[in-house]
Structure 1
Amino acid sequence: MSDLVRAAELLDGAGALLICAGAGMGVDSGLPDFRGGAGFWRAYPPYARLGLRFEELADPRHFAEDPELAWGFYGHRLELYRRTVPHDGFRLLREFGTRPPHGTRVFTSNVDGQFQAAGFGFVAEAHGSIHHLQCLAGCTDAIWPADMDVVVDEETMRAVPPLPSCPRCGGLARPNILMFGDSSWVPDRSQAQLDELTAWRRTARDLVVVELGAGQAVPTVRRYAELASAASGALIRINPREPEIRHGRGVSIAAGALDTLKQLLPR
Protein backbone atom coordinates (compact mmCIF):
# COMPACT_ATOMS: atom_id res chain seq x y z
CA MET A 1 0.00 0.00 0.00
CA SER A 2 1.44 3.39 -0.98
CA ASP A 3 1.99 6.17 1.54
CA LEU A 4 -0.59 8.33 -0.23
CA VAL A 5 -3.22 5.59 0.03
CA ARG A 6 -2.46 5.04 3.72
CA ALA A 7 -2.68 8.78 4.33
CA ALA A 8 -5.99 9.01 2.45
CA GLU A 9 -7.42 6.18 4.55
CA LEU A 10 -6.43 7.98 7.75
CA LEU A 11 -8.13 11.16 6.55
CA ASP A 12 -11.28 9.28 5.51
CA GLY A 13 -11.67 8.08 9.09
CA ALA A 14 -10.84 11.39 10.76
CA GLY A 15 -13.26 12.53 13.43
CA ALA A 16 -11.17 15.66 13.93
CA LEU A 17 -8.34 17.23 11.94
CA LEU A 18 -5.30 19.05 13.32
CA ILE A 19 -3.09 20.83 10.78
CA CYS A 20 0.45 21.48 12.01
CA ALA A 21 2.49 23.74 9.74
CA GLY A 22 6.05 25.01 9.58
CA ALA A 23 7.82 27.38 7.22
CA GLY A 24 7.76 24.87 4.35
CA MET A 25 4.00 25.35 4.08
CA GLY A 26 4.53 28.82 2.61
CA VAL A 27 7.15 27.89 0.01
CA ASP A 28 4.53 27.08 -2.64
CA SER A 29 3.11 30.60 -2.12
CA GLY A 30 6.52 32.01 -2.97
CA LEU A 31 7.63 32.68 0.60
CA PRO A 32 11.25 31.95 1.62
CA ASP A 33 11.74 29.34 4.34
CA PHE A 34 15.06 30.87 5.50
CA ARG A 35 16.62 27.39 5.57
CA GLY A 36 20.34 27.96 6.10
CA GLY A 37 22.38 31.04 5.29
CA ALA A 38 22.37 30.45 1.53
CA GLY A 39 18.57 30.21 1.32
CA PHE A 40 18.10 33.34 3.44
CA TRP A 41 20.64 35.32 1.43
CA ARG A 42 18.99 34.35 -1.85
CA ALA A 43 15.80 35.92 -0.52
CA TYR A 44 17.59 38.95 0.94
CA PRO A 45 20.81 39.73 -1.02
CA PRO A 46 21.60 42.94 0.97
CA TYR A 47 22.12 40.82 4.07
CA ALA A 48 24.54 38.57 2.16
CA ARG A 49 26.70 41.64 1.53
CA LEU A 50 26.57 42.43 5.25
CA GLY A 51 27.19 38.80 6.21
CA LEU A 52 24.10 38.73 8.45
CA ARG A 53 22.16 35.49 8.88
CA PHE A 54 18.47 35.08 9.74
CA GLU A 55 19.29 33.99 13.29
CA GLU A 56 21.30 37.16 13.83
CA LEU A 57 18.61 39.48 12.48
CA ALA A 58 15.78 37.75 14.36
CA ASP A 59 17.22 39.00 17.65
CA PRO A 60 15.21 41.43 19.79
CA ARG A 61 18.33 43.37 20.87
CA HIS A 62 18.47 45.03 17.44
CA PHE A 63 15.27 46.94 18.20
CA ALA A 64 17.08 48.70 21.06
CA GLU A 65 20.54 48.93 19.49
CA ASP A 66 19.72 49.56 15.81
CA PRO A 67 15.95 49.97 15.31
CA GLU A 68 16.23 50.95 11.64
CA LEU A 69 18.02 47.66 10.92
CA ALA A 70 15.49 45.67 12.95
CA TRP A 71 12.44 47.30 11.40
CA GLY A 72 14.01 47.10 7.96
CA PHE A 73 13.96 43.32 8.24
CA TYR A 74 10.56 42.96 9.89
CA GLY A 75 8.93 45.77 7.92
CA HIS A 76 9.93 44.14 4.66
CA ARG A 77 8.60 40.79 5.83
CA LEU A 78 5.34 42.39 6.98
CA GLU A 79 4.72 43.85 3.52
CA LEU A 80 5.76 40.57 1.85
CA TYR A 81 3.27 38.57 3.91
CA ARG A 82 0.50 41.12 3.39
CA ARG A 83 0.70 40.83 -0.39
CA THR A 84 1.23 37.04 -0.57
CA VAL A 85 -1.73 34.98 -1.77
CA PRO A 86 -1.99 31.59 0.01
CA HIS A 87 -1.47 28.72 -2.44
CA ASP A 88 -4.28 26.36 -3.38
CA GLY A 89 -3.27 23.81 -0.77
CA PHE A 90 -4.72 26.08 1.89
CA ARG A 91 -8.08 26.03 0.11
CA LEU A 92 -8.02 22.24 -0.20
CA LEU A 93 -7.29 21.86 3.52
CA ARG A 94 -9.96 24.40 4.49
CA GLU A 95 -12.64 22.70 2.39
CA PHE A 96 -11.69 19.21 3.57
CA GLY A 97 -11.60 20.53 7.13
CA THR A 98 -15.35 21.05 7.12
CA ARG A 99 -15.90 17.28 6.94
CA PRO A 100 -14.65 15.92 10.31
CA PRO A 101 -17.55 16.03 12.79
CA HIS A 102 -15.36 17.35 15.62
CA GLY A 103 -13.90 20.13 13.50
CA THR A 104 -10.48 21.36 12.41
CA ARG A 105 -7.77 23.40 14.10
CA VAL A 106 -4.36 24.75 13.05
CA PHE A 107 -1.10 24.84 15.02
CA THR A 108 1.75 26.73 13.37
CA SER A 109 5.12 28.27 14.10
CA ASN A 110 4.66 30.60 11.15
CA VAL A 111 4.09 34.27 11.91
CA ASP A 112 2.86 35.21 8.43
CA GLY A 113 -0.93 35.01 8.94
CA GLN A 114 -1.40 32.88 5.82
CA PHE A 115 -3.95 30.54 7.41
CA GLN A 116 -6.14 33.45 8.48
CA ALA A 117 -5.81 34.97 5.00
CA ALA A 118 -6.97 31.62 3.58
CA GLY A 119 -10.12 31.68 5.73
CA PHE A 120 -9.23 29.42 8.69
CA GLY A 121 -11.05 30.43 11.85
CA PHE A 122 -9.07 28.65 14.59
CA VAL A 123 -5.30 29.11 14.38
CA ALA A 124 -2.80 28.75 17.22
CA GLU A 125 0.32 30.78 16.41
CA ALA A 126 2.96 29.33 18.72
CA HIS A 127 5.56 32.00 17.91
CA GLY A 128 3.22 34.96 17.61
CA SER A 129 2.26 37.06 14.60
CA ILE A 130 4.00 39.73 12.54
CA HIS A 131 0.58 41.34 12.12
CA HIS A 132 0.54 42.34 15.81
CA LEU A 133 2.78 44.61 17.89
CA GLN A 134 3.88 45.10 21.49
CA CYS A 135 5.81 47.80 23.36
CA LEU A 136 9.58 47.35 23.26
CA ALA A 137 10.02 48.98 26.67
CA GLY A 138 7.29 46.86 28.25
CA CYS A 139 5.22 49.77 29.51
CA THR A 140 2.19 47.56 28.94
CA ASP A 141 1.42 43.94 28.08
CA ALA A 142 -1.07 45.12 25.46
CA ILE A 143 -0.92 43.61 21.98
CA TRP A 144 -2.38 45.54 19.07
CA PRO A 145 -2.77 45.13 15.28
CA ALA A 146 0.08 46.25 13.04
CA ASP A 147 -2.11 48.60 11.02
CA MET A 148 0.77 50.86 9.92
CA ASP A 149 3.17 50.81 6.98
CA VAL A 150 6.95 50.63 7.30
CA VAL A 151 9.01 52.28 4.56
CA VAL A 152 12.17 50.27 3.81
CA ASP A 153 15.16 51.34 1.71
CA GLU A 154 15.59 48.31 -0.56
CA GLU A 155 19.32 49.00 -1.07
CA THR A 156 20.28 49.05 2.59
CA MET A 157 17.27 47.13 3.98
CA ARG A 158 16.96 49.76 6.69
CA ALA A 159 13.63 51.27 7.74
CA VAL A 160 12.98 54.95 7.17
CA PRO A 161 11.64 56.86 10.23
CA PRO A 162 9.11 57.30 11.66
CA LEU A 163 9.13 53.77 13.05
CA PRO A 164 6.14 52.01 14.66
CA SER A 165 5.49 53.31 18.15
CA CYS A 166 3.62 52.29 21.28
CA PRO A 167 0.29 54.17 21.59
CA ARG A 168 0.66 54.31 25.39
CA CYS A 169 4.21 55.59 25.99
CA GLY A 170 5.21 56.74 22.51
CA GLY A 171 8.34 54.59 22.54
CA LEU A 172 9.38 52.07 19.92
CA ALA A 173 7.09 49.13 19.14
CA ARG A 174 8.24 45.68 18.03
CA PRO A 175 6.47 42.73 16.42
CA ASN A 176 4.66 40.39 18.79
CA ILE A 177 6.90 37.53 17.66
CA LEU A 178 9.02 35.14 19.69
CA MET A 179 12.56 35.80 18.46
CA PHE A 180 15.84 34.07 19.27
CA GLY A 181 16.92 34.62 22.87
CA ASP A 182 13.75 36.61 23.47
CA SER A 183 12.87 37.25 27.12
CA SER A 184 10.48 40.17 26.54
CA TRP A 185 7.97 38.61 24.15
CA VAL A 186 4.41 39.03 25.41
CA PRO A 187 2.85 35.56 24.94
CA ASP A 188 -0.73 36.35 26.02
CA ARG A 189 -2.34 36.31 22.58
CA SER A 190 -0.62 33.08 21.52
CA GLN A 191 -1.30 31.44 24.89
CA ALA A 192 -5.02 32.12 24.59
CA GLN A 193 -4.98 30.43 21.18
CA LEU A 194 -3.04 27.44 22.58
CA ASP A 195 -5.45 27.14 25.51
CA GLU A 196 -8.37 26.98 23.10
CA LEU A 197 -6.56 24.32 21.06
CA THR A 198 -5.82 22.25 24.17
CA ALA A 199 -9.47 22.38 25.25
CA TRP A 200 -10.56 21.30 21.77
CA ARG A 201 -8.12 18.39 21.70
CA ARG A 202 -9.59 17.05 24.94
CA THR A 203 -12.98 16.67 23.26
CA ALA A 204 -11.82 15.67 19.75
CA ARG A 205 -12.30 12.02 18.83
CA ASP A 206 -10.42 10.06 16.14
CA LEU A 207 -7.93 12.90 15.70
CA VAL A 208 -5.75 12.87 12.59
CA VAL A 209 -2.72 15.15 12.42
CA VAL A 210 -1.41 16.49 9.11
CA GLU A 211 2.03 18.06 9.48
CA LEU A 212 3.36 20.17 6.61
CA GLY A 213 6.79 21.66 6.00
CA ALA A 214 8.05 21.43 9.58
CA GLY A 215 11.81 20.89 9.87
CA GLN A 216 14.02 19.75 12.70
CA ALA A 217 16.08 22.96 13.07
CA VAL A 218 13.28 24.58 15.10
CA PRO A 219 11.26 21.50 16.12
CA THR A 220 8.26 23.27 17.71
CA VAL A 221 5.76 21.99 15.14
CA ARG A 222 7.17 18.47 14.81
CA ARG A 223 7.09 17.94 18.57
CA TYR A 224 3.54 19.22 18.88
CA ALA A 225 2.35 17.02 16.00
CA GLU A 226 4.01 13.96 17.54
CA LEU A 227 2.52 14.71 20.94
CA ALA A 228 -0.97 15.24 19.54
CA SER A 229 -0.84 11.96 17.61
CA ALA A 230 1.03 9.90 20.23
CA ALA A 231 -1.98 7.87 21.34
CA SER A 232 -3.17 6.86 17.88
CA GLY A 233 -0.17 7.18 15.57
CA ALA A 234 -2.48 9.00 13.14
CA LEU A 235 0.20 11.38 11.89
CA ILE A 236 0.76 12.31 8.25
CA ARG A 237 4.13 14.06 7.90
CA ILE A 238 4.64 15.86 4.57
CA ASN A 239 8.19 17.12 4.14
CA PRO A 240 10.47 16.94 1.09
CA ARG A 241 13.71 16.89 3.12
CA GLU A 242 12.96 15.48 6.58
CA PRO A 243 9.91 13.21 6.34
CA GLU A 244 11.08 10.55 8.81
CA ILE A 245 8.80 9.63 11.70
CA ARG A 246 10.21 8.15 14.87
CA HIS A 247 9.29 4.53 15.52
CA GLY A 248 7.16 4.49 12.36
CA ARG A 249 4.25 6.10 14.21
CA GLY A 250 2.47 7.51 11.18
CA VAL A 251 2.82 8.04 7.44
CA SER A 252 5.75 9.96 5.98
CA ILE A 253 5.54 11.55 2.53
CA ALA A 254 8.75 12.97 1.06
CA ALA A 255 7.24 15.75 -1.06
CA GLY A 256 6.12 19.35 -0.98
CA ALA A 257 2.89 20.55 0.58
CA LEU A 258 0.95 21.72 -2.47
CA ASP A 259 1.71 18.75 -4.73
CA THR A 260 0.86 16.29 -1.97
CA LEU A 261 -2.39 17.99 -0.97
CA LYS A 262 -3.52 18.03 -4.60
CA GLN A 263 -3.08 14.26 -4.74
CA LEU A 264 -4.38 13.56 -1.28
CA LEU A 265 -7.50 15.65 -0.91
CA PRO A 266 -10.68 15.49 -3.02
CA ARG A 267 -11.38 18.44 -5.28
Structure 2
Amino acid sequence: MEVQQAQRRLEAARRVAVLTGAGVSAESGIPTFRGAGGLWEGFRPEELATPEAYARDPEKVWRWYAMRYAQVMEAEPNPAHLRLADLERQKGDGFLLVTQNVDGLHLRAGSRRVVELHGSIARARCERCGHRQSLPPPDAFTPPPVCERCGGRMRPDVVWFGEFLDAELLARAERAFMTAEVALVIGTSAVVEPAASLGRMAKSAGAYLIEVNPEPTPLTPLADVSLRATAARGMEALVGASAPPPGS
Protein backbone atom coordinates (compact mmCIF):
# COMPACT_ATOMS: atom_id res chain seq x y z
CA MET A 1 0.00 0.00 0.00
CA GLU A 2 2.83 2.44 0.80
CA VAL A 3 4.39 1.90 -2.62
CA GLN A 4 1.05 2.45 -4.34
CA GLN A 5 0.56 5.68 -2.40
CA ALA A 6 4.06 6.81 -3.39
CA GLN A 7 3.25 6.02 -7.03
CA ARG A 8 0.09 8.12 -6.86
CA ARG A 9 1.80 11.03 -5.14
CA LEU A 10 4.66 11.01 -7.63
CA GLU A 11 2.32 10.80 -10.61
CA ALA A 12 0.15 13.67 -9.38
CA ALA A 13 2.98 15.99 -8.33
CA ARG A 14 3.78 18.98 -10.51
CA ARG A 15 7.00 19.83 -8.67
CA VAL A 16 9.46 16.99 -8.08
CA ALA A 17 12.98 17.29 -6.70
CA VAL A 18 15.37 14.34 -6.86
CA LEU A 19 18.68 13.78 -5.10
CA THR A 20 20.94 10.95 -6.25
CA GLY A 21 24.14 9.54 -4.79
CA ALA A 22 26.67 6.88 -5.68
CA GLY A 23 24.11 4.08 -5.31
CA VAL A 24 22.27 5.17 -8.47
CA SER A 25 25.38 4.37 -10.55
CA ALA A 26 26.37 1.16 -8.76
CA GLU A 27 24.31 -0.92 -11.20
CA SER A 28 26.29 0.64 -14.05
CA GLY A 29 29.43 -0.92 -12.56
CA ILE A 30 30.75 2.25 -10.94
CA PRO A 31 31.85 1.48 -7.36
CA THR A 32 30.50 3.49 -4.48
CA PHE A 33 32.91 5.43 -2.29
CA ARG A 34 32.58 3.42 0.89
CA GLY A 35 32.84 -0.25 1.79
CA ALA A 36 34.62 -3.21 0.22
CA GLY A 37 35.57 -2.51 -3.37
CA GLY A 38 34.79 1.19 -3.01
CA LEU A 39 36.73 3.94 -4.73
CA TRP A 40 38.66 4.79 -1.58
CA GLU A 41 39.69 1.22 -0.73
CA GLY A 42 43.47 1.23 -0.46
CA PHE A 43 43.62 5.04 -0.63
CA ARG A 44 43.33 7.89 1.82
CA PRO A 45 41.13 10.72 0.50
CA GLU A 46 43.65 13.33 1.65
CA GLU A 47 46.22 11.73 -0.68
CA LEU A 48 44.10 12.21 -3.79
CA ALA A 49 41.08 14.45 -3.38
CA THR A 50 42.08 17.58 -1.51
CA PRO A 51 43.59 20.88 -2.66
CA GLU A 52 46.64 20.06 -0.56
CA ALA A 53 47.13 16.72 -2.32
CA TYR A 54 46.93 18.39 -5.70
CA ALA A 55 49.39 21.09 -4.71
CA ARG A 56 51.77 18.43 -3.41
CA ASP A 57 51.62 16.01 -6.35
CA PRO A 58 49.34 17.10 -9.24
CA GLU A 59 50.60 14.33 -11.53
CA LYS A 60 49.61 11.62 -9.03
CA VAL A 61 46.16 13.13 -8.57
CA TRP A 62 45.63 13.43 -12.33
CA ARG A 63 46.70 9.82 -12.92
CA TRP A 64 44.06 8.62 -10.48
CA TYR A 65 41.37 10.84 -11.98
CA ALA A 66 42.32 9.78 -15.52
CA MET A 67 41.88 6.15 -14.44
CA ARG A 68 38.47 6.93 -12.95
CA TYR A 69 37.48 8.91 -16.05
CA ALA A 70 38.28 5.94 -18.28
CA GLN A 71 36.21 3.63 -16.04
CA VAL A 72 33.26 6.01 -16.06
CA MET A 73 33.27 6.38 -19.84
CA GLU A 74 33.10 2.60 -20.24
CA ALA A 75 29.94 2.50 -18.12
CA GLU A 76 26.43 2.92 -19.48
CA PRO A 77 23.34 4.48 -17.88
CA ASN A 78 21.25 1.88 -16.09
CA PRO A 79 17.45 1.67 -15.80
CA ALA A 80 17.43 4.04 -12.80
CA HIS A 81 19.09 6.79 -14.87
CA LEU A 82 16.69 6.15 -17.75
CA ARG A 83 13.58 6.20 -15.57
CA LEU A 84 14.66 9.48 -14.03
CA ALA A 85 15.09 10.94 -17.51
CA ASP A 86 11.56 9.71 -18.32
CA LEU A 87 10.25 11.36 -15.16
CA GLU A 88 11.84 14.66 -16.15
CA ARG A 89 10.14 14.54 -19.54
CA GLN A 90 6.79 13.95 -17.81
CA LYS A 91 7.18 16.79 -15.29
CA GLY A 92 8.93 19.38 -17.44
CA ASP A 93 9.88 22.63 -15.74
CA GLY A 94 8.63 21.38 -12.38
CA PHE A 95 11.44 18.84 -12.17
CA LEU A 96 15.03 19.14 -10.95
CA LEU A 97 17.56 16.37 -10.47
CA VAL A 98 20.41 17.12 -8.07
CA THR A 99 23.27 14.64 -8.08
CA GLN A 100 26.30 14.13 -5.88
CA ASN A 101 27.83 12.00 -8.63
CA VAL A 102 30.54 13.22 -10.99
CA ASP A 103 30.11 10.44 -13.59
CA GLY A 104 27.78 12.27 -16.01
CA LEU A 105 25.51 9.25 -16.45
CA HIS A 106 22.34 11.25 -15.84
CA LEU A 107 23.19 13.51 -18.77
CA ARG A 108 24.06 10.54 -20.97
CA ALA A 109 20.69 8.98 -20.07
CA GLY A 110 18.89 12.05 -21.40
CA SER A 111 18.33 14.13 -18.25
CA ARG A 112 18.74 17.86 -18.85
CA ARG A 113 17.45 19.57 -15.71
CA VAL A 114 20.47 18.44 -13.70
CA VAL A 115 22.56 20.09 -11.00
CA GLU A 116 25.93 18.37 -10.60
CA LEU A 117 26.71 19.53 -7.06
CA HIS A 118 30.15 17.94 -6.94
CA GLY A 119 31.21 18.72 -10.51
CA SER A 120 32.07 16.38 -13.36
CA ILE A 121 34.95 14.01 -13.87
CA ALA A 122 34.62 14.58 -17.63
CA ARG A 123 35.61 18.25 -17.32
CA ALA A 124 38.67 20.23 -16.27
CA ARG A 125 38.89 23.74 -14.85
CA CYS A 126 41.72 26.15 -15.52
CA GLU A 127 43.73 27.12 -12.45
CA ARG A 128 44.54 30.49 -14.00
CA CYS A 129 41.38 31.82 -15.67
CA GLY A 130 38.68 29.45 -14.40
CA HIS A 131 37.61 28.27 -17.88
CA ARG A 132 35.95 24.86 -17.98
CA GLN A 133 36.31 22.42 -20.86
CA SER A 134 35.42 18.81 -21.58
CA LEU A 135 38.15 16.21 -21.54
CA PRO A 136 38.99 14.38 -24.77
CA PRO A 137 38.09 10.69 -25.06
CA PRO A 138 40.07 8.58 -22.56
CA ASP A 139 42.23 6.95 -25.26
CA ALA A 140 43.30 10.42 -26.45
CA PHE A 141 43.74 11.97 -23.01
CA THR A 142 47.16 12.69 -21.55
CA PRO A 143 46.93 14.56 -18.25
CA PRO A 144 47.19 17.28 -17.23
CA PRO A 145 45.04 19.11 -19.79
CA VAL A 146 45.96 22.61 -20.96
CA CYS A 147 43.43 25.43 -21.05
CA GLU A 148 42.27 26.16 -24.60
CA ARG A 149 41.80 29.84 -23.70
CA CYS A 150 44.91 30.87 -21.78
CA GLY A 151 47.24 27.85 -21.93
CA GLY A 152 47.21 27.41 -18.15
CA ARG A 153 47.31 24.11 -16.29
CA MET A 154 43.90 22.65 -15.48
CA ARG A 155 42.63 20.67 -12.51
CA PRO A 156 39.76 18.16 -12.36
CA ASP A 157 36.45 20.02 -12.28
CA VAL A 158 35.25 18.28 -9.13
CA VAL A 159 34.69 19.44 -5.57
CA TRP A 160 37.41 18.08 -3.31
CA PHE A 161 37.27 17.45 0.41
CA GLY A 162 37.63 20.78 2.19
CA GLU A 163 36.23 22.82 -0.71
CA PHE A 164 32.91 24.64 -0.84
CA LEU A 165 30.14 23.78 -3.27
CA ASP A 166 29.22 26.27 -5.95
CA ALA A 167 26.89 28.66 -4.11
CA GLU A 168 24.62 29.23 -7.12
CA LEU A 169 24.16 25.51 -7.77
CA LEU A 170 23.46 24.82 -4.10
CA ALA A 171 20.91 27.62 -3.97
CA ARG A 172 19.16 26.22 -7.03
CA ALA A 173 19.03 22.78 -5.40
CA GLU A 174 17.70 24.18 -2.15
CA ARG A 175 14.96 26.15 -3.93
CA ALA A 176 13.80 23.00 -5.72
CA PHE A 177 13.61 20.95 -2.53
CA MET A 178 11.97 23.75 -0.55
CA THR A 179 9.17 24.02 -3.13
CA ALA A 180 8.80 20.34 -4.10
CA GLU A 181 5.54 18.49 -3.68
CA VAL A 182 7.47 15.21 -3.82
CA ALA A 183 11.14 14.76 -2.93
CA LEU A 184 12.87 11.60 -4.08
CA VAL A 185 16.23 10.63 -2.51
CA ILE A 186 17.98 7.72 -4.23
CA GLY A 187 21.16 5.81 -3.48
CA THR A 188 22.77 8.24 -1.06
CA SER A 189 24.06 7.63 2.46
CA ALA A 190 22.44 10.89 3.61
CA VAL A 191 25.52 11.79 5.64
CA VAL A 192 27.51 14.06 3.29
CA GLU A 193 26.56 17.67 3.85
CA PRO A 194 25.17 19.93 2.60
CA ALA A 195 23.43 17.58 0.15
CA ALA A 196 22.25 15.37 3.01
CA SER A 197 20.10 18.25 4.29
CA LEU A 198 18.05 18.54 1.09
CA GLY A 199 15.67 15.70 1.95
CA ARG A 200 15.14 17.03 5.47
CA MET A 201 14.61 20.50 4.05
CA ALA A 202 11.91 19.23 1.69
CA LYS A 203 10.16 17.28 4.44
CA SER A 204 10.12 20.28 6.79
CA ALA A 205 8.57 22.36 3.98
CA GLY A 206 5.73 19.86 3.55
CA ALA A 207 6.95 17.63 0.74
CA TYR A 208 6.10 13.94 0.47
CA LEU A 209 9.49 12.26 0.96
CA ILE A 210 10.44 9.02 -0.79
CA GLU A 211 13.74 7.25 -0.13
CA VAL A 212 15.22 4.45 -2.24
CA ASN A 213 18.20 2.70 -0.67
CA PRO A 214 19.16 -0.93 0.05
CA GLU A 215 20.16 0.09 3.60
CA PRO A 216 18.56 2.35 6.20
CA THR A 217 20.03 5.87 6.40
CA PRO A 218 19.65 8.83 8.77
CA LEU A 219 16.86 10.01 6.44
CA THR A 220 14.82 6.81 6.80
CA PRO A 221 12.89 7.81 9.95
CA LEU A 222 11.68 10.99 8.20
CA ALA A 223 10.65 9.36 4.91
CA ASP A 224 6.98 8.84 4.11
CA VAL A 225 8.07 5.78 2.13
CA SER A 226 11.49 4.12 2.32
CA LEU A 227 12.06 1.39 -0.25
CA ARG A 228 14.75 -1.15 0.64
CA ALA A 229 15.83 -1.66 -2.96
CA THR A 230 18.52 -0.81 -5.45
CA ALA A 231 18.05 2.36 -7.46
CA ALA A 232 16.89 0.51 -10.57
CA ARG A 233 14.42 -1.71 -8.73
CA GLY A 234 13.14 1.15 -6.64
CA MET A 235 12.50 3.32 -9.67
CA GLU A 236 10.80 0.42 -11.42
CA ALA A 237 8.46 0.08 -8.45
CA LEU A 238 7.70 3.80 -8.51
CA VAL A 239 7.36 4.60 -12.21
CA GLY A 240 7.45 1.35 -14.17
CA ALA A 241 9.39 0.59 -17.34
CA SER A 242 11.80 3.09 -18.87
CA ALA A 243 12.20 4.24 -22.43
CA PRO A 244 15.47 3.57 -24.26
CA PRO A 245 18.12 6.29 -24.05
CA PRO A 246 18.06 9.03 -26.71
CA GLY A 247 19.59 7.97 -30.01
CA SER A 248 19.42 4.23 -29.29
TM above 0.5, yes or no, is: yes
How far apart in 2 are the matches of 1:168 and 1:99? 39
How far apart in 2 are the matches of 1:228 and 1:6? 18
Count of aligned positions? 241
How far apart in 2 are the matches of 1:230 and 1:246? 14
Cα RMSD for the two superposed structures: 2.9
Shift of 1:181: 2.0
1:92 maps to what in 2? 83
2:34 maps to what in 1? 35
1:262 maps to what in 2? 236
Gap change, CA 1:151 and 1:102, over 3 Å in 2: closer
Tell me which of 135, 140, 158 is aligned to 1:177: 158
Matched position secondary structure for 2:98: strand
Shift of 1:239: 1.1
The structure whose Rg is larger is 1
Is 1:232 matched up with 2:206?
Answer: yes
Gap change, CA 1:193 and 1:216, over 3 Å in 2: closer
Shift of 1:168: 4.8
- Structure-to-structure mapping, 1:1-267, within 5 angstroms: 1=1, 3-36=2-35, 38-40=36-38, 48=42, 52-54=43-45, 56-100=47-91, 102-136=93-127, 139-147=128-136, 149=138, 163-182=144-163, 190-197=166-173, 207-243=181-217, 245=219, 248-267=222-241
Shift of 1:28: 0.9
Gap change, CA 1:98 and 1:148, over 3 Å in 2: closer
Gaps of 5+ in 1: 153-160
Gap change, CA 1:148 and 1:262, over 3 Å in 2: closer
Gap change, CA 1:147 and 1:93, over 3 Å in 2: same
How far apart in 2 are the matches of 1:5 and 1:243? 22
Gap change, CA 1:197 and 1:216, over 3 Å in 2: closer
How far apart in 2 are the matches of 1:171 and 1:101? 39
How far apart in 2 are the matches of 1:222 and 1:30? 24
Farther off after superposition, 238-247 or 102-111 = 238-247
Gap change, CA 1:162 and 1:109, over 3 Å in 2: closer
